[in-house]
Amino acid sequence: MTIKNGDPLPAATFKHATPEGMSELSTDTLFKSGKSVLFAVPGAFTPTCSNQHLPGFVANMDALRAKGVERVVCMAVNDPFVMKAWGERDGSDDIIMISDWDASFTKALGLDQDASPAGLGVRSRRFAMVIEDGIVTKLSVEEERGLNVSAAEAILEDL
């Protein structure tokens, strides 16, 4: 079953590579209090993700903060070192880059996809959600290829 507006986030622990080494971040740490935006991409360094999705959130951080967003989190089913390198390359110091390394959180959300035909294995569907105090208040899932409803600009309109 796919998560929907009004649902609490399922509990999960993510891997997070930092300059000090590997750490773990839980859904409680990231999303239990305040307003957050979580966006997920099928893969770090992939064309739409690198050329549009992540850069859109980087460019709109001030506007998101002005709407009360306390943190923006980018997630992919990639290893944490890849997420760290991608974040460093694309200048997203203000975005928390997390790894759902085994796709367990993505599967718990019901937002996984089999990208094996493209050589990628199990990945996340492209989506963005607004989370307030651990509850999903707006879920935007891309139904087709491309970037429309989960873009930073679309999320700003929803806030």
Backbone angles phi, psi at 126, to 5 degrees: -80, 125
Query: Which of 9, 49, 83, 103 is labelled catalytic?
Result: 49
Cα(130)–Cα(154) distance, integer angstroms: 11
Does the annotation mark 49 as catalytic?
yes
Cα(5)–Cα(29) distance, integer angstroms: 20
- Active site residue ranges: 49
